[in-house]
Amino acid sequence: MPPHKPTEIQIRNDWTLDEVGALFALPFADLVFHAQQVHRACHDPNRVQVSTLLSIKTGACPEDCAYCPQSVRYDTGLEREELMSAETVLERARAAKAAGATRFCMGAAYRSPKKRDMEKISAMVREVSALGMETCATLGMLTAEQAQELKDAGLDFYNHNLDTSSEFYEKIITTRTYQDRLDTLQTVRAAGLKVCCGGILGMGEGQIDRAKLLHTLATLSEHPESVPINQLVQVEGTPLNGSEKLDPLEFVRTVAVARILMPKSHVRLSAGREEMSEELQALCFLAGANSIFYGEKLLTTGNPDVEEDRRLFERLGIQAEGCGTQG
């Protein structure tokens, strides 16, 4: 049984940047121990929520995000794919549910979706929701009307990452401002949608940028319900290909600090997990990660397959949320 009751953990939105920096500066063992205490107070330490992510429209994005193979500005060999049919998406959602996923995320490479596409995506959301799965979408910037349309269709979560600190952001993206991203978060929250928002590590940022990113997330009026922590997947043809690899222990530190700052949130291991050793993933779970993406691909980049994850969960004594001990 967890050693503390959830009510003993104070949810704060007034963290200072100095406090966040002090957490990053803790000795590694002290930081992970602190994070594990918070984690056990608010979550079952041996359960991990499982999501599946499907790219429902791939490539030809007009943005210039330096990490993204879907940008029309970079030659990455990625084939452009039009918006999937609702029938195809529903078939993939059924397969994801059968494999143990409890949340189905639909991602499309847009700056912002057009009206004709919104109608099709709303139909997808309704169909997937009818399966009894949680639904999530990531479609770029939304208007208030679009956010409400998705909410009315049954969407549960909206993903819109901040990626990094506001200061480092301009080195990664110039076609959309940091404030644009914050405005979209406010828009989807106002529509009553839950928020999935995190960042990408290993883009050349410093520890201070990782601290500032988490500080921004932890001082929102409401913490994101899901906080994806991505490790940069380097893709040939993108400006960030060839970047210096992030120290794996720095990745674990970031997970641990996220857990302490946002106790009730699901902290998700997202992109880059294919390149992580099982030992590194185990450390991340120890540091408070309690959600993963399941399946062979995240939008356009690789991910460990379902059987690998099931074997790892079994070795660690972890239950995949909603589907028993075998994942």
**What span, in angstroms and rounded, lies between the C-alpha atoms of 97 and 104?**
8
Between CA 38 and CA 22 the distance in angstroms is 17
Note the Cα 106 to chain centre separation in Å.
12
284 has catalytic annotation: no
CA 108/CA 84 separation, integer angstroms: 10
- Residue 149 CA to residue 314 CA, distance in Å, equals 40
Q: Which of the following is catalytic: 40, 42, 92, 105? A: 105
**Could you tell me which of 183, 162, 300 has the C-alpha nearest to residue 229?**
162
Catalytic residue among 40, 268, 273, 310: 268
Q: How many CA atoms lie within 13 A of 254 on its CB side?
A: 31
> What is the Cα–Cα distance from 80 to 308, expressed in whole angstroms?
29
> Would residue 323 show up in a list of annotated catalytic residues for this protein?
no
Catalytic residue among 40, 42, 136, 210: 136
Confirm if 12 and 55 have CB atoms less than 8 A apart: no
| Angle subtended at Cα 160 by Cα 77 and Cα 127, rounded to the nearest 5 degrees | 85
61 is catalytic: yes
Among this protein's residues, is 65 annotated catalytic? yes
Best CA proximity match to 276, nearest among 309, 242, 311 = 309
Instruction: Please name every residue paired with 159 in a beta bridge, in sequence order, or none if there are none.
Output: 196
Is 68 annotated as catalytic?
yes
Nearest CA-CA partner of 205 in 213, 193, 194, 197: 213
Cα–Cα distance, 161 to 151 (Å, whole number): 19
What are the phi and psi torsion angles at 246 (to 5°)? Answer: -75, 140
**Side-chain half-sphere CA neighbours of 266 within 13 A:** 21
* 197 is known as an active-site residue: no
The half-sphere exposure of 309 on its side-chain side, counting CA atoms within 13 A, is 25
Residue 196 is a catalytic residue: yes
Nearest CA to 51 out of 306, 285, 293 is that of 293
Q: Which residues are catalytic?
A: 61, 65, 68, 105, 136, 196, 268
